[in-house]
Amino acid sequence: MPARTGRARSARPLAAVAAAFTLAQLLLVRPGMGLGWDETVYVSQVSGHAPAAFFSAPRARGVSLLVAPVASWSSSTALLRVYLAVLSGLALFLALRAWRGLFPVRVLALAGALFASLWVTLFYGPQAMPNYWVAVGALAAVACFLRARADRADRAALWGLAASGALMAWMRPMDAVWAALPLLALGLARRHWRPLLVLLAGLAAGALEWVVEAYVSYGGLAQRLADGSAIQGGLGFHVAVVDQLRSLGGRALCRPCTGALPPAVVTVWWFVLPLVALLGLLVAVHARRTAPTLLPLACGATVAFPYLFMIDYAAPRFLLPAYALAAIPVAAALVQLVTAPARAWAWRPAALTLVALGLAAHLAVQTAVLVGIVDRTTAAHRTWSRTSAALHRLGVRPPCLLTGHEAIPVAFYAGCSSAATSGHNANSTEQAIARTARHTPVATLVPPGSRPPGYARHWPSVPLDDLRLYYAVPEAGS
């Protein structure tokens, strides 16, 4: 009984961090912000009020299944945001809790706070997107692997390893493989067969649906991987480090990634992060506990590698797993700086002041960037809502079809299907769309300077914001 009470008390700081993370999401990321482009794709797969959008090769069904308990019966974005905020807080708690015994609780609480306070973590925690879930899955997987290799009788660690591997692969199979590479290599090199096989089983279970779907809908696994590479601009050697820096100022997608870099005050943490992580590794080597520090750093490096050196664009959410994994050694280094032994008392007050000021400034900058991107995103999503309302006023109501500029998210808002005849989301032909327009309301959104597609050139049109909307509404009974 006392041991159980002690474990409960040691979990309280972690629970407090997770609760604060959930509360911050609800306060700073507006529940009514509306769904983004990718979110509409994932949510539409299980939505009860909008047809499923085209599901391109790189995507996996994990997010759709995650939101199904709410999205299948409710169209409320606010309710979905609250659900995901609570769920993401619970997931962070469980991932941090898996590290108990490997690091002091104060280190784990600080690591959770560092990761949870990043604007990108707060922004994507309540969104129907996969990257946050890969991050917490990777964080838990490394901890469970370390525990399982140290104690063969730790069955909870084995179950946690299987579940976290499945979660990563369920969300983004390729990210799961990159994140797990150091674990797989260590398992083979040191012959840790049980955790190795459990991890492989978890990854396979999570990726099974994606692989089966590849053969059913995409022409095979090799073809799906090739299509996914093409959609990402062709995987190869591309240095996207500067692109990632540009995105830190609050750009959800940096493609093409041009323009000036954000102010140094916004990006300085990105340069400090690897230096402090390296300090944490040096501290760990000196204390002869290298593996618990080196392994998350190695997994963070491998999962970040393709997004830094293999694609020609950037999105800050891509590096969420790396940030989560780096948070542990960074927190260990910071705690070591402010709790140095008595012989270092001369410089400990200075270190404590420097760390406190640095963290306060970091939190202020992250909050400012978050508020800015939430404002811009909310305004963009309101534009889609206005377009949807205009469509309904013109008679383009469900069942209906939408094509053209930003057709996928606008169609979701309007309750329509979407179609494209070219590009990564091509799923129809001009002839098929023209046939549909004979009996179903169809509209196409044309940006400035562009001509309407052939099937829409004789349709009536109206200006709408900076677009032109062409539409065809068949007479009843036609």
Task: Indicate the number of domains in the chain.
Answer: 2
Query: 257 falls in which pLDDT band (50, 70, 90)?
Result: confident
Query: pLDDT of 137-163, one tens digit each?
Result: 999 999 999 999 999 899 999 999 999
Q: How far is CA 167 from CA 69, 135, 140, 294, in A?
A: 17, 10, 10, 23
Please report which helix (H) or strand (E) contains residue 443, including its range: strand 442-446
Residues 120 and 95 in one domain: yes
**Which one, of 188, 199, 196, 89, lies nearest residue 141 by Cα?**
199
Question: Is the same domain home to 280 and 346?
Answer: yes
Same domain as 359, residue 236: yes
Q: Is residue 180 part of a domain?
A: yes
107-126 confidence digits (pLDDT tens): 999 999 999 999 999 999 99
121 lies in the same domain as 12: yes
pLDDT band for position 441 (cuts 50, 70, 90): very high
Backbone angles phi, psi at 425, to 5 degrees: -105, 20
The token pair at 379 is 């305004």
Looking up tokens 């013109």 gives: 394
166 and 312 belong to one structural domain = yes
- 29 located within any domain: yes
**Residue at which a domain ends, from 343, 377, 411:** 377
Look at residue 169 and tell me if it is in a domain: yes
Residues 9 and 66 in one domain: yes
Same domain, 322 and 431: no
Domain hosting 292: range is 2-377
Per-residue pLDDT, 342? 52
Same domain, 354 and 406: no
Final residue of a structural domain among 346, 377, 408: 377
Q: What is the pLDDT of residue 477?
A: 47
- For residue 385, being part of any structural domain is answered with no
Confidence check: pLDDT of 207 > 50: yes
Both 441 and 358 in a single domain?
Answer: no
- In a domain, residue 80? The reply is yes
Look up tokens 């383009």; give the residue.
Answer: 396
Same domain for 311 and 411?
A: no
414 and 317, same domain (yes or no): no
How does pLDDT run across 352-410, given as a tens digit for each residue? 888 899 999 999 999 999 999 999 999 999 999 999 999 999 999 999 999 999 999 99
For residue 382, is it within any domain? no
Please report whether residue 437 resides in a domain: yes
Domain final residue pick, 342, 377, 412: 377
275 domain residue, yes or no: yes
Same domain, yes or no: 398 and 369: no
Q: What is the mean pLDDT of the chain?
A: 93
**How wide is the angle at C-alpha 64 spanned by C-alphas 95 and 157, nearest 5°?**
25
